[in-house]
Amino acid sequence: MRRRKKNISFYLGLIIISLVIIFVVMGIFWTPYDPNGMSAALKNSPPSLAHLFGTDNFGRDILSRVMVGAKTTFLVAFFTVLIGASIGTIIGALTGYYGGLFDEVLMRLNDGLASFPSILLALVFVSIIGTGKYNIILALGVLFIPSYARIIRSEFITLKEKDFVKNAELMGANDFRIMFVHILPNTKPIFISSVSIGFNNAVLAESSLSYLNLGVQPPDASLGRMLSEAQPYLFTAPWYVIFPGIMIILMILGFSLLNDSV
Amino acid sequence: MNTIKLIIKKIASLFATLIIVSLITFLAFQVIPGDSVLISLGTNATEEAIEQRREELGLNENVFVRYFKWLGNAAKGDFGTSSQYHIKVSELIGERLSITIWLTIISVVFVLLISIPLGILASNRVDGWIDRIVVFLTQITMAIPPFFLGIIITLIFGFILRLFTPGRFYYPAESFNKFISFMVFPGLAIAIPKIAMVVKFLRSSIIRQLDTDYVRTAKSKGHTRAGIMYNHVLKNALIPVITFIAMVIADILANSIIIEEVFGIPGLGRLLVMSISNRDYAVVQAIVLLIVIIIVFLNFVVDILYQYLDPKVRIK
């Protein structure tokens, strides 16, 4: 019974993620209309066959803009997780394996950082280095390092006492080989789940920052920014708000369904 | 004896954390590219004017001397002057802080009132139809960004059902009732995803307890389901939830930053976002420090509470 239920949410998650990825990849090469093409005649027109998601206050096609915006959000989240996970893993591996003063200092810093809610830290970073696509990737990427470092570190601390590690040590393997060939592959399950949680947090953080106009800046379209632009037309053109919002929900939901069933 | 020792240890670590978070907050704003003096005076300021301003602001001193000065003033409630509004930061923050705290309290009340009964209801019959519906709903609602939920709530309750006027905020001084009845909606927007998180956490905590030996013993002794649930399982299952709720409260406080923007509430979050856009660093620094200090104290209280409630931790 439990097994089957898990499978259903796994496949549902897989389907949602595949659709999102197809949507994003398509948005890189082709959109039905020019996402920035304006038309006075089409201002705030509701969804129709010609414009499936309707048009916005400038007469721009919302479907095309959602495709481009989803691409921005997806890529920002992807690179954020890439930076956070790779640097975090290296730091976590070194501190977990060697311990010592360096480990002690980093962990204290980590404890301090853990007291800051992540959106607050993201805002601090943005106020320091500024807004825009690349700054957001940098800010969120750096922000994500401590959580990966913490997870990988605690895995390394438990795993380094295991017999297979002692065995490799006796065989004369060097530290580098033990850390990255013997121990690291064993952190895979927890690593995968923290990557998918991280991806969700990144999508949420990017769209929140862009909603506050402190994230991705025009001409780059972003789902969060679309929502803030759409809010004044909430009553007259509700479709303008709903489609970008649903896109964000699908991105987050897909990965959390997958993660729950792994 | 042991308790006193423990509390002293906890207080020491509270101070250590406060020092670390304040140091992070202070140092973060020391690496800002571009000179704050140049920004305030303009690029064609004379050499002497710049030097005089630097001296005035104490920028020529060692970074640690400046940190302790800043911290000392902050402890007295003096966070400097806003470069945008030219008034004391503490004045600027005053009323806005209370609005944000009200919003947080309303959201937390929603979370506690809804999530705990719902979590118990769901785990009463694991995999029953109520449980399935609750699990499905928590899965969906956790994926909704709070600001989007805020917009949807505005659309449904504001524009369609007309239960409140979007954008018409009342100050508590104007009319406290109107203030609360407005704040219920942003409160809901923050609370709903958190309710889902707490329900999910509580449910799995209860399920873990239901699998234990003491529950089996109680069952074999002929205790009723409800009796086992309320007398044994809940006591144990709620302990980890308390720590989790502290985390959730911190998150709620942070989320209010965004929700205030959605509903046009003149609270701390709105001031923070505006000050970031205006590069008004004294205000940004003060708000960040305030929020983090509230969170650190919250964690401290929960930690003490946890020691008191969980016998397994108490013995140590």
What confidence tens digit (pLDDT) does each residue in B243-298 have?
Answer: 888 888 888 888 888 899 899 899 898 899 888 888 888 888 889 999 989 888 88
B66 and B129 inside one domain: no
Which residues in chain A touch residue B281, judged by CB atoms under 8 angstroms apart? Answer: 127
B70 and B163 inside one domain: no
Residue with tokens 């905020």: B169
The pLDDT of residue A1: 42
- pLDDT, tens only, B34-77: 555 666 666 666 777 777 766 666 666 677 788 888 888 888 77
pLDDT of A223 > 80? The answer is: yes
What is the SS3 assignment for B241? Answer: helix
Tally of structural domains, chain A: 1
A89 falls within a domain: yes
Asked if the Cβ–Cβ distance from A115 to B142 is below 8 Å, we say no
pLDDT of A193 > 70? The answer is: yes
Asked if the Cβ–Cβ distance from A115 to B154 is below 8 Å, we say no
Checking phi first, is residue A191 left (phi over 0); if not, alpha (psi -120 to 50) or beta?
alpha
Nearest chain B alpha carbon to A1: B127
For residue B77, give Cα distances in angstroms to A61, A253, B238.
51, 43, 37
B94 falls within a domain: no
Rounded to the nearest angstrom, the minimum Cα separation between B179 and chain A is: 22
A6 falls within a domain: no
Any B CB within 8 A of A111 CB? yes
Which residues in chain B touch residue A122, judged by CB atoms under 8 angstroms apart? Answer: none
B26 and B109 inside one domain: no
B239 and B107 inside one domain: yes
B260 falls within a domain: yes
Residue B251 is nearest to which of A112, A117, A253, comparing CB atoms? Answer: A117
User: Tell me, what's the ipTM?
Assistant: 0.85
A37 falls within a domain: no
pLDDT of A224 > 80? The answer is: yes
Nearest chain B alpha carbon to A120: B254
Mean pLDDT of chain B: 83
Domain that holds residue A78: 50-261
Asked if the Cβ–Cβ distance from B273 to A214 is below 8 Å, we say yes
Q: How far apart are CA B281 and CA B218, in angstroms?
A: 60
Q: How far apart are CA A234 and CA B154, in angstroms?
A: 9
Asked if the Cβ–Cβ distance from A231 to B144 is below 8 Å, we say no
Bridge partners (DSSP) listed for residue A61:
A55
Asked if the Cβ–Cβ distance from A2 to B23 is below 8 Å, we say no
B15 falls within a domain: yes
B77 and B124 inside one domain: no
The pLDDT of residue B212: 85
Which residues in chain B touch residue A117, judged by CB atoms under 8 angstroms apart? Answer: 250-251, 253-254, 291, 295
B304 and B244 inside one domain: no
Write the CATH number for A180: 1.10.3720.10
The pLDDT of residue A231: 86
pLDDT tier, B222 (very low <50, low <70, confident <90, very high otherwise): confident
Q: What are phi and psi of B132, to 5 degrees?
A: -60, -45
Rounded to the nearest angstrom, the minimum Cα separation between A164 and chain B is: 31
Any B CB within 8 A of A256 CB? yes
Domain that holds residue B14: 1-84+280-316
Q: What is the DSSP letter of A54?
A: -
B28 and B47 inside one domain: yes
A143 falls within a domain: yes
A42 falls within a domain: no
A3 falls within a domain: no
B90 falls within a domain: no
B70 and B105 inside one domain: no
- pLDDT, tens only, B105-163: 999 999 999 999 998 888 888 778 888 888 888 888 888 988 999 999 998 888 888 88
Nearest chain A alpha carbon to B32: A128
B144 and B170 inside one domain: yes
Tally of structural domains, chain B: 2
B243 falls within a domain: yes
B123 and B251 inside one domain: yes
Token pair in block for residue A177: 């080989």
B92 falls within a domain: no
For residue A5, give Cα distances in angstroms to A260, B72, B132, B208.
11, 57, 10, 19
B89 falls within a domain: no
Asked if the Cβ–Cβ distance from B277 to A248 is below 8 Å, we say no
DSSP assignment string, A178-239: IIIIIIGGGGHHHHHHHHHHHHHHHHHHHHHHHHTTSSS-TTS--HHHHHHHHGGGTTT-HH
- pLDDT, tens only, A52-90: 777 777 778 888 888 888 988 999 999 999 999 999 999
B268 and B179 inside one domain: yes
Helix H segments across B1-88? 2-28, 36-41, 47-57, 63-75
Q: How far apart are CA A134 and CA A141, in angstroms?
A: 10
pLDDT tier, B316 (very low <50, low <70, confident <90, very high otherwise): very low
For residue A106, give Cα distances in angstroms to A91, A103, B142.
9, 5, 32
Residue with tokens 């897989």: A14
Write the CATH number for B252: 1.10.3720.10
B203 and B65 inside one domain: no
Q: What is the mean pLDDT of residues A255-260?
A: 82
Rounded to the nearest angstrom, the minimum Cα separation between A256 and chain B is: 8
Asked if the Cβ–Cβ distance from A108 to B145 is below 8 Å, we say no
